[in-house]
Amino acid sequence: MTSLRAIIAEDEPILAYSLVQTLNRLWPELQIGAVLENGVAAVSEALAQHPDILFLDIKMPGKTGLEAAQELAEDWPEDIPFPLLVFVTAYDEYALQAFDQAAADYVLKPVSDERLAKTVDRLKARLVQHQERNGELERIVGQLRALVPAPFATTERLSIIRAAVGNQIRMIPIGEVLYFEATDKYVNVVTADSESLIRTSLKELLPQLDNDRFWQIHRGTVVNTACIQAAVRDDSGKLSLKLHGRSESLVVSRVFSHLFKQM
């Protein structure tokens, strides 16, 4: 088995070094394309290199292993097999339950040679099952969809958005919001006649929204369902939304595409 490439994302240098050395010994044909220290770099490099295997630490700076996997599942090219995921984690009951479903395998820290040898055997077996591997992306998307935490379960609902515009605080009734769009450190609040930035994250905002009224359609986008005119599927199968009276289209990620299945 040749020309296989793996990327390791692990913020503990000693463990990352140990993984590389052990993999080189157990699986010399496997190329290590990169060793990265955070989830953001892992996503970027994986999308650039299209590795066959990803070793993802569950608790990394920037993005957790699960968040990185979700982002990759959303942005991965349709015509390239999705990488097999191996999560590396300290013992964590939630992690074990999640990874048992979404990952090709997981290994616990500290990673022993014996356990990693079993992982290598499992990966080799999965990689030769071409038909299964071609369905890896859909399998991962389905499992990640089940693992996305319910965002609308807590706190009282927002009725007014207070957004800073210059030296003013603009009061925006929640019903006027067409959609929320995450930016670098803020959320852009889009209405029919304005856009305003609020200093919060989409993750913090989500529990305060009515889940019947606002649907998350992408990791960075939440839309007011009353403003959706149609969901449109292009030739490649990707979904996007058209809004009443608006020219822009909002992309629907694979993880949330099930929201627009025909009744």
Residue pLDDT, tens place only, 49-76: 999 999 999 888 988 888 898 889 888 8
Distance CA 244, CA 225 (A): 11
Q: pLDDT for 171-186, tens place per residue?
A: 999 999 999 999 878 9
- Tell me the average pLDDT across 17-30: 95
Sign of CA dihedral 111, 61, 203, 247: negative
User: What is the C-alpha to C-alpha distance for residues 201 and 96, in angstroms, rounded to an integer?
Assistant: 28
pTM over 0.85: no
Report d(CA 42, CA 68) in Å as an integer: 7
Domains of the chain and CATH, by start: 5-147 (3.40.50.2300), 160-259 (2.40.50.1020)
What whole-number distance in Å separates Cα of residue 188 and Cα of residue 202? 10
pLDDT computed for residue 94 by the predictor:
56
Share of the chain above pLDDT 70, in %: 87
